Amino acid sequence: MHVIDALSSDFYEVECAGQQASMWDVFPDWNAHDRFGIVIYEPLAALGASHLIQMACMCFYDIKPTRRTERKVFPEMFAIHVWG
C-alpha cells in the first residue's frame, strides 16, 4: 500500500495551545510549491516528529489532489542532520 492511499488528513486530530485546530493551523499558507524539512540535532530526534512529518505529507497531497491520482508524485522531504 502506498502512502497516497494509506493516509488521509482526516486521520489527524490537531491541537495547538490547548485548542482544537487543523493541519492548516500547523502549516499556515502551505502551497503547492512548499516542501518540508526537519533539522535533526539529537539521535532519533526525527522519530519524535513522525506525526508532524506525516502531516506535512498530507498537506503536500491535499493542496494539489491530482498528485494522488493523475500523476503520482512523492512529497519532497528533507532531513538536515546537525551534529555539533
**Model confidence pLDDT, tens digit, residues 44-54:** 888 888 888 88
pTM of the model: 0.80
Structural domain including 62 reads: 3-81
| Between 7 and 82, the higher pLDDT residue | 82
Specify the long-range contacts of residues 10-18, CB closer than 8 Å, at least 24 apart.
12/51, 12/55, 12/58, 14/55
Split into its structural domains, the chain has a count of 1
- Cell digits of residue 21: 485546530
Q: What is the pLDDT of residue 34?
A: 94
